[in-house]
Amino acid sequence: MPDATGLELIAQRVRDELGEDAVVGTSYYRDQATLEVAPARVRDVLEYLKLRDQEPFEFLSSLHGCDYLPDEPRLAVHYELLSMERVERLRVKTRVGVDEAHVPSVVDLWPGANFQEREVWDMFGIEFGNHPDHRRILMPEDYEGHPQRRDFPIGGEPVIFTFNENEGPRWYE
């Protein structure tokens, strides 16, 4: 784990390389370093951290979404980076609002992010620009809504039969 100072150094290097607006903030909590970046710059930051930084994080161990209702901006994507050589983890996080839920895809950097970005799109409705295969993965392809959002209702989902298959589940409105 990079310590609190190490995290600030990483943030400073990212700022020097990509501009002041790339890094939104840093936080260090329970021995975990989190670098918060602007949604439009997240791919640039991750590319820098993977390929060009002096202490690179070459492995993406997890990519997941989160809904921080009632905080704004509500949605977030987390990238759990790992350096196998130094055994260090860094969480890169980006927050987006529900109305502008767009994040650039990192599938070209890590092909393994493919399924995980599709899952975030499926569950949270965050779009990944330039994703090669942008569609739902776990829910049925004609499902309406993004069920992991905190304001998504629980229960009461109607069963679709032939007679009502084209009506659409209006219960979500």
Partner 1 sequence: MSNREGGQNPLAVPYREREKSVTMEALDQGQAPVYGTELERDTELFTLNIGPHHPATHGVLRLLVTLEGEYVHELTPLIGYVHTGIEKSCEDQSYWKVIPFVERMDYLSYYFNAMAFCMAVERLLDVEVPERAQYLRVIHMELNRISSHLFWMATSILDFGAISFLWWGIRDREMTLDLFEMSSGQRMHPRYFQVGGVIEDIPPGWVEKCREFVQRMPPRIEQYEAVLDKNEIFLHRTRNVGIVDTQRLLDLGVTGPLLRASGHSWDLRKAAPYSGYENFDFNVPVGTVGDHYDRYRVRIAEMRESLKIISQALDNLPDGPYITDNRKIALPPRHELATSMEALIHHFKLVTEGFRVPPGEAYAAVESPRGELGCFVVADGSSKPARVHMRDPSFVNLQSLKDMSEGTLIADLIASVAMLDPILGGIDR
Q: How far apart are the first and last CA of the chain?
A: 44
Q: Which is nearer to partner 1, 20 or 56 (CB)?
A: 56
CB 16 → partner 1: shortest distance, Å? 27
Distance between CA 78 and CA 36 in Å, rounded? 9
Q: Which is nearer to partner 1, 48 or 79 (CB)?
A: 79
CB 42 → partner 1: shortest distance, Å? 17
Question: What does DSSP say about strands 88-96 and 75-83: parallel, antiparallel, or unpaired?
Answer: antiparallel
CB 19 → partner 1: shortest distance, Å? 26
Contact 80, 62 (CB under 8 A): yes
| Interacting residues with partner 1 (CB under 8 A) | 29-32, 34, 58-62, 64, 66-68, 78, 80, 84, 87, 89, 91, 110-116, 119, 123, 125, 127-129, 131-148, 150, 152, 154, 166, 168
Q: Which is nearer to partner 1, 16 or 68 (CB)?
A: 68
Q: Which is nearer to partner 1, 20 or 140 (CB)?
A: 140
CB 115 → partner 1: shortest distance, Å? 6
Distance between CA 7 and CA 47 in Å, rounded? 17
Distance between CA 119 and CA 115 in Å, rounded? 6
**Partners of residue 92 on adjacent β-strands:** 35, 79
Distance between CA 47 and CA 84 in Å, rounded? 17
Q: Is 165 exposed, middle or buried (0-12, 13-18, 19+ CB in 10 A)?
A: exposed
Q: Which is nearer to partner 1, 48 or 110 (CB)?
A: 110
CB 31 → partner 1: shortest distance, Å? 8
